[in-house]
């Protein structure tokens, strides 16, 4: 398939059908070089017909944006509630947990009604307020500069407090889960705090609906080797789940 028009039509039709294309597969299917395919993808991206990704192209923007929390809470709200309920099951007899920022982990805070004493450490103001008068819950609210988009703190003060803390489980929301890039969020000012929370916890649990997969936020917070669980919904592809499980992570479908 040497004609550029035919190649572009083939790529766009495959993209429409599958949502993404892979350079290696395109090379085999069209019998042209990888250099030619990369040039084709660049031309199609310049025409705003696709987004180039590592090793291919996608119909969806692979880069997460920093949306305000009041916008994100309405996205996949039913899935987030199911993910939150599944997350609660992992707490068991744990006496201390950490809850990060984000709408999915906030749903977890709403659902949390422990029968025994539980200390919750959080940088998220909404989480702290939700749990502040909850029976059997003691809240350690991390301090620092409050970001309006997330209603969460960031900065050196919270990081210093975390240096003197250890907790059993961290439940954290993210903006991007990419098999090659790792786990990421869309704001750099919160990335360092998230990295410190991950270092502080014995077990790391990612709460993320299916829209977060195949995306990359601006700030990478960890690799898959630092994560024990990912809780998500049934819309994530089986191939993606398999690739993540091969990295030694338990994926729970809520």
- pLDDT attached to residue 150: 67
| Confidence (pLDDT) at 75 | 60
The pLDDT value given to residue 59: 73
Q: What are phi and psi of 208, to 5 degrees?
A: -150, 125
Q: Is 151 exposed, middle or buried (0-12, 13-18, 19+ CB in 10 A)?
A: buried
List, for the chain, all residue ranges whose pLDDT scores fall below the cut of 70: 1-2, 60-76, 149-150
pLDDT of residue 152: 80
**In angstroms, what CA-CA distances link 152 with 72, 102, 121, 144, 171?**
14, 9, 12, 9, 15
Domains of the chain: 4-58 (1.10.10.10), 69-253 (3.40.50.1360)
The pLDDT of residue 192 is: 86
- Closest by CA position to 205, among listed 247, 250, 241: 250
Structure tokens at 120: 């919750």
Q: Which residues pair with 170 in a beta bridge?
A: 98, 204
Q: Kindly report the pTM of this predicted structure.
A: 0.71
């Amino acid at each position: 398939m040497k004609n550029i028009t035919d190649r572009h039509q083939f790529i766009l039709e495959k993209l429409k059908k599958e949502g993404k294309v892979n350079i290696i597969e395109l090379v085999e299917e069209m019998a042209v070089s990888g250099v030619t395919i990369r040039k084709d993808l660049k031309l199609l991206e310049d025409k705003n017909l696709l987004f180039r990704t590592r090793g291919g192209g996608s119909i969806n923007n692979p880069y997460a944006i920093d949306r305000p929390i009041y916008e994100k809470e309405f996205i996949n709200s039913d899935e987030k509630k199911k993910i939150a309920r599944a997350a609660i099951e992992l707490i068991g007899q744990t006496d201390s947990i950490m809850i990060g920022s984000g709408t999915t982990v906030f749903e977890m805070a709403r659902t949390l009604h422990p029968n025994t004493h539980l200390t919750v450490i959080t940088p998220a103001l909404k989480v702290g307020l939700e749990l502040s008068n909850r029976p059997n819950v003691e809240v350690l609210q991390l301090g620092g500069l409050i970001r309006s988009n997330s209603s969460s703190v960031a900065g050196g003060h919270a990081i210093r407090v975390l240096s003197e803390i250890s907790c059993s489980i961290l439940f954290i929301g993210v903006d991007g889960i990419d098999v090659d890039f790792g786990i990421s969020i869309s704001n750099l000012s919160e990335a360092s705090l998230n990295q410190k929370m991950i270092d502080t916890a014995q077990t790391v649990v990612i709460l993320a609906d299916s829209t977060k997969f195949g995306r990359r936020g601006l700030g990478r917070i960890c690799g898959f080797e630092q994560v024990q669980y990912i809780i998500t919904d049934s819309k994530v592809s089986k191939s993606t789940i398999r690739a993540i499980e091969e990295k030694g992570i338990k994926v729970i479908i809520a």
